[in-house]
Every structure is written in structure tokens, then in C-alpha cells.
Structure 1
């Protein structure tokens, strides 16, 4: 039987002895060349995964994880509007299935095929992404059942709409709001298309889970607004953004159309399981002012308590089952191993208290290339961020060797322990009626 249940059988993950251990390979795909450096950011290409995918999937099999998050490079699958090239994706997903690794398919990870002009702001984007998702689901109907429609919608909207790092290069809060709405429209159309292909498909909604606070009384309101923005994508797609929502007036002031917002209310999506991406180096955000009075954000390193706070916060808000869909620390193997132990212990405490944390994903399984590579000029090896179970290290031929760290054995032991590694889920952990966010 598949480790990943279908939509009608999802409840079996709430059994006390059920738990999903997973890994994932960083799959950021920003295919537009940077205007100054000409560089792109395709993590599969930069880390050599396109050439070494068989070896990398064999490493997952060595861990024994029953499932893995795996990104599909849409820009390679559909290099032109009416051209489809499934060779790499077919081979990789078939190999995962043969190895008894259930794929959690990551459909969009920040970037789009370059022929989609204006990227997410192209008026036809929701239909393009829905068609792509449906075609993939048809190829693996009945065998691949879990799909992430779009990884981290808020971060996507931030880098594409507020910071202007990625297409379509907007640099304002109005840009952020426009991007967020377009992205969420795409998620809604994607889920509908997937479930038309196979009603048993499980949409696995994944977003970054920042926690904002401040010691400055003048920034309390801003910290609260930033915290509400963290939930905005999930609130939109699940029909929670009505006129009573904390962000309604702000969204309208930043250019959102009332009719468009109300469309999300008409056919809200269910949230069968929510993936929370959290990192001790990124997730805690503290607002402060510098000497000139300008707003600044610091990111203090967090302890394992962060996992508990996030788990309770999301379960209280949505009443849905949860899974840690990304977590890792950077630096030495000892530091990473300490975070593994802290975060798994926090998952155990959540389950004892009845919060349905149903799985855990170490991400990335080997080092990633930092996003600054695309706009920088330093060599690739200067941009390696060691966060994985394996390190990446250049060999004499310039290839990135996968070097096993002590985390591999530690993670393998957790996986072998199954649910016993995190303890049973208390009886009160069944999903409950979600609270409205307004």
C-alpha cells in the first residue's frame, strides 16, 4: 500500500501509529537571465541533479523515507506554449515509484517558463498552470496522488512583487498584492484541474511560516499586519478573506479588486493538509528601527520551541492536519544535528498534546546554491549553503560530490523508527472545525 493516502483515505494519517518521514531536493527554478550578470537559477542544473538524478534518488532510497518532495522543472517540460517534453520527469518519477518512494510533486517553485510574459501577472497564467498540472496528473493517474500546487506563495509574491528580484520584477506593496492574488488564482485553478483528473488527489498546500514580533511599541501594529500577511495565501484560497478580515481594507488600499477577492469566497478550497516550512535561521522575524528611524528586520536564531509555536498557531487557525514540509539548519554537521534533535523533539511534544503533526521533511537533502548567485559574479562554489544530510563538495573534476555527514545515519534511524521516533498522536489530534481568520 502507498505510504501517501488518497483523498478519501487521508484520515488514516491521524492514526496514533502513522507518520510520514520525507526529504526533498532544493528545486528553485528562476529561468530568466539576470539583466546584469546573465545568470539563471536552476538548482537542478547548478547542483548537477539533471546528470546525477539516478544517484540522488538512490540516496533517498538509502534513507528509507517512504516519500519525498520532488520538483518538476516546468520550463523544461513545456519549453514553448505548444511543446511538451516529458522525458526527464517521466524517468525520474517512474524511478521513484520503482524504489517505493512516493513523490509529493512540487509543481511550481518560484519560477515559470520564460515564454509566459509578465510571469504570474500574465492574465492567462492560471489557465497555463492548470493545463500543465492536469497533463502531468493524467500521466501518473492513480500512482502519484500528492501535489503541491505552488511552493511558498507568500515568498514568491515577495521576491516577484515586493523586492523585484524575480519576474515580473515589481517593487511595491501593490505589486506584492497583485502577485499574491494572481498566484492564489493559479492555485485554485490548479487544484480544480488536478481533482478533475483524479478526485483522490491530495493538494498539499505549503507556505513559509514566519513569526513576527517586536519590542518597539511603535511597531506593534506593523508586526501584527506582517503576521496576518503570513497567512494570506491560505486565507484567500480557503475563502477566509471577507470584509471582516484583518487585511481586507489594506488589500483594497493596495489595489485589490473587491469582486476578485469575493470570487475566492464563492468556491473555497479545502485544506486537507498544510505543509509548514520553518527554519531556525530564517523564520523568527524581529521588527526594530535603526538610528535613523527606518524599519529593520532581524532574524535571531530560534530554538526547537519555534516548531511548537508554529504548530499550535496553524492548528488553532485552520484546524487542519500539519506536516513539517521543510526544515534544516546551516553550518557544521554538529549544528545541523542539534536542530534535527530539537525539532523532532518539538514534533513529539505537539503530538502528545494532540496537535496533528503528521510528518517531517528535512530540506534540502544536500546543499543548495544561494539565491544571490543569480545576481552575483562570484563562482558557484562560493554560493553553496550547507544545510543538507549530505554536503556538496567540488571534486578534482569540478563536479559536486555528495559527501555523507553524520546526519544521514541519524535521519535513517528516525525513519526506521517510524511513528515511534515521534511518539503516538494523542486522541484529541483529529482535525476540528477551523476558525475563521476575520
Structure 2
């Protein structure tokens, strides 16, 4: 971050792009479903009015490079020119938010993926390095590997720990090559390594080993990128058991990167899991409602592991405006409690800025309006003309108050 920056208030626009479909599925492009492609200027104006100084903002790779090696920057040019004209709103560019172009067959499993994503990143940096200094090479590798590799929900539909670790390897190589490609063009670029954070616990002592495994898996991408996985690492033997080769681990040791900023994504309803057995004896991992204390625990551990500046790059609450305001207050209190401990916590991001369309839209058959999820500082409502109208709510007004009154 810039040396003269104090605490950073930020927002982010939901930008998931999973557009390959199989039978019964529909493309999931949040910009299309929320009409951001048409309303982008209004949305960025509202973000500036909120008092946010930074915004996490995604690029739809599948649209930009619809044909391999042929880049269409027309729409992106307009948005980037906005940031050029309004330097008071600094973008953190999400180069990858889940989806790949359709020409990349087998998506993340394709052996060419790491090089292809790095070429796209280089093309972006060459065009916009005068505007953009902050990058997220790939958003939430844990969730990406979970949906694409562990649970088989998204392409390439792998399952199990074999699929999970295969995705982690592919995504990780893409991240490293993306970082190197951008740095070759702009040596001053700042990398914000964002991942979903988790905390697992159990009341069953017999399941503690399972808890320990998943409390390591939640950090596995950062561990790899930082070159920390070796023969002594708690996950090393498990990764080899599920298909990772010693050569792959060695590759990350030889190509590791330091972290400019570690980005923490934490959602009270999704980030904390109890490990237990169901009625049939199977191990399950249900969500339990997390608090600011779990958020602080996760951040302390990330600081202890990586000794890098931290930024909360996503947090919010799915629920009523009252529930969202309560979480906004609680999570901000958690931030400044950590700063009072001396932790280098740079900023706070409410994500998403306005409501999103539930990812279940891909398979539910419901309309985008029916799938709207109440997360945002702005509520989305469909009017009689079929337009998604942005309406500031109590959460947005409270966010403005906090930003105005808390300066450091």
C-alpha cells in the first residue's frame, strides 16, 4: 500500500463468471445477471459516494479473450478510463474469479491453463499498468478447488481429494506465472493474495485428526505459493497420497513468491465448520455461525504464518438489514481490536457492494430476480421495465457513517 495511506475502506462487486454449461445448467455471469455491464458507471459512482477508497473489481476473461490470443478490450477500456479519471477510487483488479474462456477445453485441468492465464494477465498489464497497481491473481483458490475439484459443482467437475489437490496445483501454477508476468511489465505492482478463510472444530475427540487436516487445507494455497510445503509439512504425505507428485511440490519451492498483502475473505455463515458424524456415521462439515472472534483468530494465524500485511478483502452477512448492520459493527470492531494489538491490518472490504444472484441460479430454473441474495449495502430490485434498480439501504448508510467517523 502507499506509504501515506491510513486505514482503507473498500467495497467489491460480485464478479463470478462460470459460463460453461452442461445439461440443465445456465451460465453464471454476475455482471450480466445484475446488469452491471450496463450500469457500471452508476455502480462505480455509488461506490465513490460510499466513501470507499478502493474497490475489488473483476475482469471477465471469457469475454475479453473469446478467441485465443485475440483480446477485445472495448468494454474494459471504458471502465479503466473511469478509474483514470477518478483516482480517488483505486481498483484491486480480480484477474480471475472462477471462470475460464470456452476455448480452454477442460478448463483448469487443461495443462496449458497456467500459461494461458499468465498471457492474459500480461496483456492486461501491458494495456493498463498506468492505471492499475493492485492485482488479485486469482480469487479464492480454496473455493475454486472446492467447487471445481472436491464437490464437482463447476467445470471441470472433479471430485474428492484427488480433484481438490489437482485443482490446487493447476491454480497455484497459474497464480505464480501470473505474478511473474505482471511483475515483468510493472515491477511496482502489488499482489493481493485473496483466499476464503475457514476454521474447523469438533466436539468429538476421535475426529481431531480430520479437523487438523482441514485446518491445514484452508491455508494450502498460501503455503504452496510461499514455498512452505516440503517433506516436513503436515499435508505433504496426504498430497502425495492423492496424486500430487514430488516434482510439483519442488516446482513451488523453486518458484515461490512473497506476499505483498494477504487478503482475508470471511463470512460468518460460511467460514466456520463443525466436524462431526451424521446419523449414518459419515463425517460431515456443516456450517455454524461464526463471530468476530473467529475472524480475529484466523487473522492472527495468518499473520503468524506469513508475516505479511493483512487486508479483509471480503466480508458481509446474508440476512436482514438489521443483521447486516450488526455484523458491520461487529466486524469493524474486530478490525480495530486487532490493530490495537499491533497487527498490520490495512483495510476492510464490504463484499458485495450490492446484492448478488445466488450461484444456485445455474441449476435452479428460477429467474435472476428470484435468486437475489440480501448481502449488499445497496438492495437490487427489479422494476416494471426489467431494470435492476440500486437502492441504498440501512447497511449502506451505516457504512458511510463509519467511514466518515473512523479515520484511522
**Equivalent residue number for residue 424 of structure 1:** none
Aligned equivalents of 1:417, 1:98: Cα separation in 2: 27
From 82, 100, 120, the equivalent of 1:112 is: 100
1:37-84 Cα distance to aligned partner (Å, 9 max, x none): 241100000001011111111111111211100000001110010221
Deviation for aligned residue 1:382? 2.0
Matches within 5 A, 1:247-266: 247-266=235-254
Residue 93 of structure 1 contacts residue 103 of structure 1 at CA under 8 Å; is this kept in 2? Answer: no
Deviation for aligned residue 1:97? 3.0
Is 1:393 aligned to residue 381 of structure 2?
yes
**Equivalent residue number for residue 42 of structure 2:** 55
Aligned equivalents of 1:136, 1:74: Cα separation in 2: 10
Q: Which runs of 5+ in 2 are unaligned?
A: none
Of residues 230-239 and 265-274 in structure 1, the stretch that sits farther from structure 2 once superposed is 265-274
Aligned equivalents of 1:303, 1:182: Cα separation in 2: 33
**Equivalent residue number for residue 117 of structure 2:** 129
Residue 83 of structure 2 contacts residue 131 of structure 2 at CA under 8 Å; is this kept in 1? Answer: no
From 145, 152, 161, the equivalent of 2:133 is: 145
From 58, 74, 87, the equivalent of 1:71 is: 58
Aligned equivalents of 2:265, 2:142: Cα separation in 1: 12
**Equivalent residue number for residue 432 of structure 1:** none
- In the superposition, the TM-score normalised over structure 2's length comes to 0.97
Is 1:412 aligned to residue 400 of structure 2?
yes
**Equivalent residue number for residue 168 of structure 1:** 156
Is 1:280 aligned to residue 240 of structure 2?
no
Which runs of 4 or more aligned residues in structure 1 lie more than 4 Å from their structure 2 counterparts after TM superposition? none
Q: What secondary structure sits across from 2:154 in the alignment?
A: coil
Residue 36 of structure 1 contacts residue 375 of structure 1 at CA under 8 Å; is this kept in 2? Answer: no
Q: What secondary structure sits across from 1:375 in the alignment?
A: helix
Question: In the comparison of the two structures, how many residue pairs are matched?
Answer: 407
Aligned equivalents of 1:96, 1:410: Cα separation in 2: 25
Q: What secondary structure sits across from 1:324 in the alignment?
A: strand
Aligned equivalents of 1:306, 1:393: Cα separation in 2: 33
Matches within 5 A, 1:224-235: 224-235=212-223
Deviation for aligned residue 1:418? 5.0
Is 1:45 aligned to residue 32 of structure 2?
yes
Residue 152 of structure 1 contacts residue 206 of structure 1 at CA under 8 Å; is this kept in 2? Answer: yes
Residue 21 of structure 1 contacts residue 418 of structure 1 at CA under 8 Å; is this kept in 2? Answer: no
Residue 57 of structure 1 contacts residue 96 of structure 1 at CA under 8 Å; is this kept in 2? Answer: no
**Equivalent residue number for residue 368 of structure 2:** 380
Is 1:179 aligned to residue 148 of structure 2?
no
1:197-229 Cα distance to aligned partner (Å, 9 max, x none): 010001110000010000011211001100100
Structure with greater contact order relative to length (CA < 8 Å, sep ≥ 6): 1
Aligned equivalents of 1:375, 1:250: Cα separation in 2: 33
